[in-house]
Amino acid sequence: MSYDILCRFLIDEFSRDFATLLMGKPIDLTILSPKELSVEPIRADSLILFQSEDSVLHIEFQTDPDQEIPFRMADYRLRGYRRFRDKDMRQVVIYLRKTNSPLVHQTEFILPQMTHRFEVIRLWEQPTELFLNAPGLLPFAALTRTENPEEVLTEVAQLIERIDNRQQQANLVAASSVLAGLVLDRELINRILRRDIMRESPIYQDILAEGRQEGRQEGRQEGRQEGRQEAIAKIARNLLLSGMSVEQIINVTGLTREQVEQLTNHDTE
């Protein structure tokens, strides 16, 4: 999820850089809410929408392949047409992490008498130089077509150092650190990028907060799971004491024979 937050932030902050990359000219883009397409929140996690005077730009960043992408792109296009009939809609899926899956080459959704096409960018096939010429694209440079992502990240760090705006520096360092983690070891990344300035980035703080929240949720889930297992074990012990056979306990609790026998051995120690 951190990648979704990060990419959305970068496009919002550097929309002209992304407009140049994806639409061929540095036009001004304004963000659109997914509600404009009547998209349910649960389906809009990675949906990024911008509009210009005559176009709607729909971008989806994907870390890994997803077989539902073609349908989703067709679905969003029809919703876009319903809401913005007078505007062209440019749809681009950007895959971040290199893979050999054929899914990342899909650019069509086909039904009988209906075909919808969209664009796909596989970052690992893109020329690195393209991403070193605009501040908003720098965090993606290490994911592009290079034999030496460490060298590219070092160059990215040097280019960020030349930016006068310290807040922009902090945000770009934080974004570069997170995205570089898809191709480089964390210890190496920390040696190349300045962690001190990274902590000044609001987006970095947002990602940390999200990580803590996910950790708490996982902890609660693990706790509930452990609680359920303890309750089942207690029930099994009581059934053993009541004289129920191992086979019957397996049927009642869903435990394996080995688990029930372990309880038996534990109670006789």
pLDDT in tens, the chain (269 residues): 467 778 888 888 898 899 899 888 888 788 777 777 776 644 544 568 888 888 889 999 999 999 999 999 999 999 989 888 999 999 999 999 999 999 999 999 999 999 999 999 999 999 999 999 999 999 999 999 999 999 999 999 999 999 999 889 989 998 999 899 999 998 899 899 987 777 777 666 666 665 555 555 545 555 555 566 776 777 777 777 766 777 777 766 777 888 888 877 765 54
Q: What pLDDT does 208 receive?
A: 60
| Model confidence, pTM | 0.73
Q: What pLDDT does 1 receive?
A: 45
Q: What pLDDT does 216 receive?
A: 53
Q: What pLDDT does 226 receive?
A: 59
| Phi, psi angle pair for 122, to nearest 5° | -100, 110
Element (H, E) at 218: helix 202-241
Look at residues 265, 261, 241, 242 and name the one whose alpha carbon lies nearest to residue 250. 261
**Three-class SS state of 1:** coil
180, HSE (Cβ side, Cα atoms, 13 Å): 30
Q: What pLDDT does 107 receive?
A: 97
- Give CA–CA dist 232/12, Å, rounded: 50
| Phi, psi angle pair for 206, to nearest 5° | -65, -40
Q: What pLDDT does 32 receive?
A: 78
Q: Where are the beta strands (DSSP E) in the chain?
A: 30-32, 47-51, 55-62, 88-95, 108-111, 114-117, 119-122
